[in-house]
Amino acid sequence: MSETRSSKTNGRRGRRSRSLVAYDGDDDRVVALDPDVRTERSRGELQPHDDRRGELDYRVDPEPLDRQSEVDEPVRRPLATALPRLADSAFGVTSFVLAVVVPTLLTALFYMFLATNQFSTVSQFAVRGPAGAPGPADMLGLFATTASSETADTYIIISYIHSRDLVEDLDKRINLREIYDRPEADFYYRFDPTKPIEDFVDYMKTMVTTEFDTFSGVVTLTVRAFRPEDAQLVAENVIAASERLVNDLSRRARDDTLREARSEVAKAEQRLRLSRAMIASFRGTQAELDPAAAAAAQQGVITQLEGQATGYEAQLNALRQTMSGSAPPVVQMESQLAAVRKQIEVERQKVALERAGTTGTALTERLTRYEELLVERDFAERAYVSSLASLEGARLEADRKQRYLAVFVSPRSAEEALYPQGLRWTAVVFGICLIAWGIFSIIIAGVRDHFV
């Protein structure tokens, strides 16, 4: 039993009033409500009950009814009308067919009857360096450094494989545009050779793919073509170009490592040459090969003269004891002694500092300058030897850090076409279309619900 409130027309006052009535849900019989029930309903004390338990459900009839229709022809109107789902309507079925069924069917027909078989060649390689024999303490750090460097080089190779430089290089070497414009290719996967290089690079990214395992450092190269020999040819040239790039990177790294060491060797060599040239110039200017040896010889002369002077003094003292001072032997001995002492003074003057007004350079000054040149030459020689040792160490380090491309799965000619994988792409198209149609259905249902 349910009930509805309807409005009735008051002929005497010319206005509408509302009355509370009830009707049975089984036979639509109208039941007049008790005045107490009306009072409780107007006060909000009467609560609606579930129709399934046989009690009255009180509703307000939005349409006014007269008293006669209230008794004889009750009208029951629900508060909300359930919107039909989009799939249950004719528009929903039509949109599903157009948005989901037709694209999926066209895709399946294309891959069944029009798509050309594509052959693939798989190759695997890795960027490696020479294996060393590090100590246990340095094992972890060396492994981290080596792995990081090799990983960076691997990412460089992968980027190069999908770059314009590689596409242009392969196009010059093996006429890449002709390979992907074979007459047996279908219209969808065939590349138009008249298109610009940017489109060709994007096209090659779909035909040449790479997968990199960061744990093992292995790169899997997959090349697709319309002929098995074409796929193998492209794969071999891609690997060859990658190997050239790795060698070039190794050469650049080696040159960068050795450049600074070679620069230091050149500076040390130039310094050594300059110091030797200064010594040679000094010897030519002073007209002596070794001022140190000359000073030693000069000192020997002075020592010898001093010895003669000492002997003459002893003889003179002996003669003076037996002869007078005017005796010829005494006079002769004094003359010889004076001559020796004068010669000693002259020899000493040669090794003394240069006096004012004299010409030439004193031996001590020449010796000091020569020793400075010798020190500079010795230091330049040691620096040169050290730079040569550093250069050799840098060369060994550069050789240890050399990288090379290790290909352990070579490209082979395919015997069976594995692409274009029509079933997979048909399922992908179906899933995408179904998701798009479902989102569209939700939007349309929300819009209809908003405007009802």
2/416: higher pLDDT: 416
Model confidence band, residue 58 (pLDDT cutoffs 50, 70, 90): very low
pLDDT, averaged across the chain: 75
Count Cβ atoms below 10 Å from residue 224 Cβ, excluding itself.
23
User: Regarding predicted confidence, which is higher, 436 or 372?
Assistant: 436
* pLDDT at residue 91, as a whole number: 74
Per mean pLDDT, which range of 209-218, 346-355, 392-401 is the poorest? 346-355
Of residues 236 and 347, more confidently modeled: 236
Cα(326)–Cα(188) distance, rounded to whole angstroms?
137
- Say which range, 278-282, 297-301, 435-439, has the weakest mean pLDDT: 297-301
Measured between alpha carbons, how far is 254 from 262 in angstroms, rounded to an integer? 12
Q: Give whichever of 129-143, 265-279, 326-340 has the largest mean pLDDT.
A: 265-279
- Of 77-91, 213-227, 245-259, the one with minimum mean pLDDT is 77-91
Question: Given pLDDT bands bounded at 50, 70 and 90, which one contains residue 449?
Answer: confident
Find the mean pLDDT for residues 376-396: 87
Confidence check: pLDDT of 280 > 70: yes
Mean pLDDT of 299-328: 80
User: Roughly what angle, to the nearest 10 degrees, separates helices 363-400 and 291-322?
Assistant: 150
Answer for the pair 96, 375: CB distance below 8 angstroms, yes or no: no
d(CA 222, CA 208): 6
The token pair at 125 is 């390689």
Least confident of 99-113, 187-201, 202-216, 280-294: 280-294
- For the residues 238-249, what does the mean pLDDT come to? 92
Instruction: Tokens 């500076």: give the residue.
Output: 267
Q: Which of 22-36, 54-68, 246-260, 360-374 has the highest mean pLDDT?
A: 246-260
Q: In DSSP terms, which residues pair with 2 in a beta bridge?
A: 23
Percentage, residues of the chain above pLDDT 70: 69
Alpha-carbon separation of residue 70 from 65, 249, 348, 356, 404 (angstroms): 6, 96, 155, 149, 97
